[in-house]
Amino acid sequence: MDTKKLDFMATITEAVEYGIKNVASLILMAILYIVTIWIPYLNVGTTIGLYKGVVEISKGKVLNPMILFDKSNFENIGNFFILVGIMFVAILPAYCMMLIPGIVLEIAWGFAIYFLIDKGLSPMECMRKSYDATYGEKWTIFFLLLAVSALIFGVTGLLSMIPKIGWLFAFAGFVCAFAIMISLQAVLYKHFSAKAFPEEKPVEEVTE
């Protein structure tokens, strides 16, 4: 398995590059997802589509925001619910009784859904691959996500205080935050997918 560790600043830099490359698509996808998340059943497909979007960006592709509504999103819906259910049942008690183990488990299995969608593995195999790939890097992931989230919500909070039009800035900030986090997840998935599947060629080496 690749032992290369996650670099804090390099990850943020690459996330910004991915974000710039897909800025229009990310913003449109964020808006479409926020608008449709209230619609029963459809929101399941759009949520799976959101994960697919992260996978697409991680492979260096330009995102098509309409991936949210792809019919194929419902093809593996059974395993998706099984995986989410298992993770929820395991993580919730850990959060309720001991906060830190809950955080560790959530981060450890944080890429399981991406492996399910991208690699077609079984739910248990996805969890195992994610746990193994993040070994030794969980706190780096935690502080990276914490730092980016704090910066985003700090800036959004300040803009929301602008009289009369603050709400507009707050909404724009929320949409941008959504897009930034998608780009960051794509970079993280690229890193941990390479660790979990070292036999596969890096994205840059793959030829059409």
- Mean pLDDT computed over 182-193: 93
In the numeric block, which tokens belong to residue 137?
A: 């890097």
Tell me how far apart the alpha carbons of residues 148 and 150 are, in angstroms, rounded to a whole number.
6
In the numeric block, which tokens belong to residue 94?
A: 């850990």
Give pLDDT tens digits for 103-118.
899 999 999 999 999 9
DSSP 115-182: HHHHH---HHHHHHHHHHHTTTTHHHHHHHHHHHHHHHHHHHHHHHTSTTTHHHHHHHHHHHHHHHHH
Q: What pLDDT was estimated at residue 3?
A: 54
Q: H-helix or E-strand containing 185? A: helix 166-196
Q: H-helix or E-strand containing 203? A: none
pTM for the full predicted model:
0.85
Nearest to 131, CA basis, from 145, 141, 120:
141
3-state helix, strand, coil in the chain (%, to 5): 75, 0, 25
Q: What pLDDT was estimated at residue 202?
A: 57
Q: Where are the domains of the chain?
A: 8-205
- Mean pLDDT computed over 127-140: 93
Alpha-carbon separation of residue 160 from 88, 109, 153, 156, 191 (angstroms)? 33, 34, 10, 6, 34
